[in-house]
């Protein structure tokens, strides 16, 4: 990687050289690799993943089970570290943080919501106390904590649940309280791992709406990992991960027809990484029997890929 970016511990200096990959983005994943080992079996969860997320974006990450979505989220939330590659969130170099910096990062810069509703909240604390807790450990004064808690629960529509414990809340309420907990210390980035995985359609819609309002009204950058196709329909940008790499992206935009009606247009793009690699969908490969050696041809405005067995 070229450039003159300097680092102080894990915190990258905000001034970076022109041309640095991801310069200006809030989240930068550069050739990210994560390998797990379990009893001698090696699992390559991330295989050189590249991803940029700009500040203020609402991004959905989709992919098959085992594609590396949750691994990516774990790394971005500071709960896991990559085996190789570079990962940065704001000024934080997540691959080089010390233990204390990691704690500070979790307190100040990132919030997250897990799929299991029960896992997000401390069961013996009320909703209000749950939101209060991350602020307590961050040393926020009591009065500020109370105001912030009240504000967040109100913003997420669960103010009436403030004095209830998680066991007394519905699944949707629990997830909205969990979002409030994740936002307690005003993080720049909110990560959600299958936040609607345990919810019915109606409740899912409520939770997604809550996430969208967090993004639009509080300006928080949101990254949602999901299986749910309805989730990706609610966001402008959907990143697909396949075999540990970003394989494609879908960008949605609202266009106005000549008759004045608005409708959403979704465009799917393959992702060409910095090494020039691109993943071809399986159906393409199978349809054209693209396996092993292929022929590439540079043509005007396009590159063609043909089977190597063609004469």
Partner 1 sequence: MTARALRATVQALPVAAHRARRHAGFVAAYGALTAVVALGALAAPLALTRAADDGLRAAVAAAGRDADVVVRYVGREGTDLRHPESFVESLTAAADGGLPPALRAVTGDPVSVLRTAGLNTLTPAGPYSLRLVHAPDAAVTWVAGGAPGTPDDGAAPDDGGSRAVEVGLSAATAEAMGVGPGDMLTLSSEVLTARVAGVFEPVAADDLAWTDAGDLLAPGPLREGASLRPASALLPAESLGTALEVLASGSATIQVRFPLDEAALRADDATTLRSDLVRAATTPDALASTTAGTPMVETVLDGVLDAYAARLAVARGQAATVLTGLAAAGGLVLFLAASLLVARRRQVLELERARGASVASVALRAAAESVPLTVLAAVAAVAATLPSGGPPSGPEALPAVAVLAVAAGAPVVLAARVAASSWAGRRVAANRRDRERDARARRTWRTSAEATVVGLAAAAVAAALFRGVVPDGDPLVAAAPILLAGACTVVVLRVLPLLLGVAERAASRGRGLVPLVAASRAAGGRTGVRGVSGASAAAPVLALTITAALTVSCAAAAATVQQAQKGAAAVVVGAAARVDGPDEDLAALALTPRPDVTTAAGTVLPRRTFARGSGLKTTVLVVDAAAFPQLTALADAGLPALGGPVPALLDPRLERTARLLEPDVWALDSTVPLVVAGVLDLAATGPHLDVTGPPTVPVVVVDRAALAASLGLAPGDLPVDVVWLDGPGAQAAVEELRDAGASSGTVTTREERATGLRTDPLAVGLVTLYLLAAGMLAALAVAAVALTVLATAPERTRVLAVLRTLGTPRAAGRALTAAELAPVLAAAVAAGLASGVLVAVLLTSAQDLGSLAGGGDPALLVPWWPFALVVGVTAAALAAAVAAEARSRRHVRIGDVLRTW
Based on the shown chain and the rule CB under 8 A, indicate whether residue 47 belongs to the binding site for partner 1. Answer: no
CB 252 within 8 A of CB 266: yes
CB 199 within 8 A of CB 37: no
Q: Among residues 80 and 243, whose Cβ is nearest to partner 1?
A: 80
| Distance (Å, whole) CA 8 – CA 98 | 12
Element (H, E) at 105: helix 99-108
Interface positions, 81-120, toward partner 1 (CB under 8 A):
81, 83-84, 97, 99-100, 102-104, 106-108, 112, 116, 118-120
- Residue in 78, 90, 172, 195 binding partner 1, rule: CB under 8 A: 78
Based on the shown chain and the rule CB under 8 A, indicate whether residue 266 belongs to the binding site for partner 1. Answer: no
Q: Among residues 181 and 189, whose Cβ is nearest to partner 1?
A: 181
| Distance (Å, whole) CA 147 – CA 109 | 20
Query: How many angstroms separate the Cα of 196 from the Cα of each of 65, 110, 204?
Result: 16, 20, 5
| Distance (Å, whole) CA 41 – CA 280 | 28
In sequence order, the 6+-apart residues with CB closer than 8 A to the CB of 199 are 171, 172, 175, 207
Binding pattern for the stretch 210-249 against partner 1, x by CB under 8 A and - elsewhere:
----------------------------------------
CB 157 within 8 A of CB 34: no
Q: What is the CA radius of gyration of the chain?
A: 21
Under rule CB under 8 A, how many of the chain's residues touch partner 1? Answer: 43
In sequence order, the 6+-apart residues with CB closer than 8 A to the CB of 20 are 1, 2, 3, 5
Q: Among residues 23 and 144, whose Cβ is nearest to partner 1?
A: 144
Least Å distance, CB 124 to partner 1, is 4
Residue range at the interface with partner 1 (CB under 8 A); choices 54-62, 80-88, 211-219, 235-243: 80-88
Element (H, E) at 230: helix 229-233
Based on the shown chain and the rule CB under 8 A, indicate whether residue 123 belongs to the binding site for partner 1. Answer: yes
Element (H, E) at 18: none
| Distance (Å, whole) CA 109 – CA 184 | 11
Least Å distance, CB 38 to partner 1, is 7
Interface positions, 133-192, toward partner 1 (CB under 8 A):
133-134, 136-139, 142, 181, 185
Based on the shown chain and the rule CB under 8 A, indicate whether residue 65 belongs to the binding site for partner 1. Answer: no
Residue range at the interface with partner 1 (CB under 8 A); choices 31-39, 169-177, 280-288, 293-301: 31-39
Q: Among residues 137 and 291, whose Cβ is nearest to partner 1?
A: 137
Least Å distance, CB 79 to partner 1, is 4
Q: Among residues 42 and 259, whose Cβ is nearest to partner 1?
A: 42
Element (H, E) at 185: none
- By C-alpha distance, which of 201, 270, 290 is closest to 50? 270
Residue range at the interface with partner 1 (CB under 8 A); choices 23-31, 125-133, 168-176, 189-197: 125-133
Element (H, E) at 113: strand 110-113
Q: Among residues 152 and 235, whose Cβ is nearest to partner 1?
A: 152
Binding site for partner 1 (CB under 8 A): 33, 35-39, 42, 77-81, 83-84, 97, 99-100, 102-104, 106-108, 112, 116, 118-125, 129, 133-134, 136-139, 142, 181, 185
């Amino acid at each position: 990687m070229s450039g003159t970016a300097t680092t102080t511990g894990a915190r990258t200096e905000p001034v970076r050289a022109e041309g640095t990959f991801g310069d200006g983005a809030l989240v930068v994943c550069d050739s990210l690799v994560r390998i797990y080992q379990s009893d001698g079996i090696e699992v390559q969860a991330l295989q050189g993943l590249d991803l940029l997320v700009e500040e203020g974006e609402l991004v959905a990450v989709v992919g098959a089970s085992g594609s590396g979505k949750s691994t990516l989220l774990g790394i971005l939330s500071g709960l896991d570290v990559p085996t190789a590659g570079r990962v940065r969130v704001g000024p934080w170099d997540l691959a080089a943080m010390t233990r204390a910096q990691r704690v500070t990062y979790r307190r100040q810069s990132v919030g997250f919501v897990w799929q299991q509703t029960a896992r997000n909240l401390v069961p013996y604390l009320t909703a209000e106390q749950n939101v209060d807790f991350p602020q307590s450990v961050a040393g926020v004064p009591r009065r500020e904590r109370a105001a912030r808690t009240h504000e967040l629960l109100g913003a997420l529509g669960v103010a009436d649940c403030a004095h209830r414990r998680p066991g007394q809340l519905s699944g949707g309420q629990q997830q909205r309280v969990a979002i409030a907990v994740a936002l307690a210390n005003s993080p720049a980035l909110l990560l959600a791992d299958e936040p609607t995985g345990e919810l019915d359609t109606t409740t899912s819609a409520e939770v997604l709406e809550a996430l969208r309002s967090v993004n639009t009204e509080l300006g928080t950058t949101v990254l949602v990992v999901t299986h749910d196709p309805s989730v990706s329909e609610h966001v402008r940008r959907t990143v697909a991960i396949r075999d540990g790499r970003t394989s494609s992206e879908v960008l949605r935009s609202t266009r106005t027809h000549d008759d004045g009606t608005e409708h959403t247009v979704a465009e799917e793009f393959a992702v060409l990484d910095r090494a020039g690699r691109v993943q071809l969908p399986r159906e393409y490969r199978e349809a054209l029997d693209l396996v092993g050696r292929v022929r590439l041809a540079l043509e005007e405005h396009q590159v063609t890929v043909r089977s190597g067995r063609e004469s």
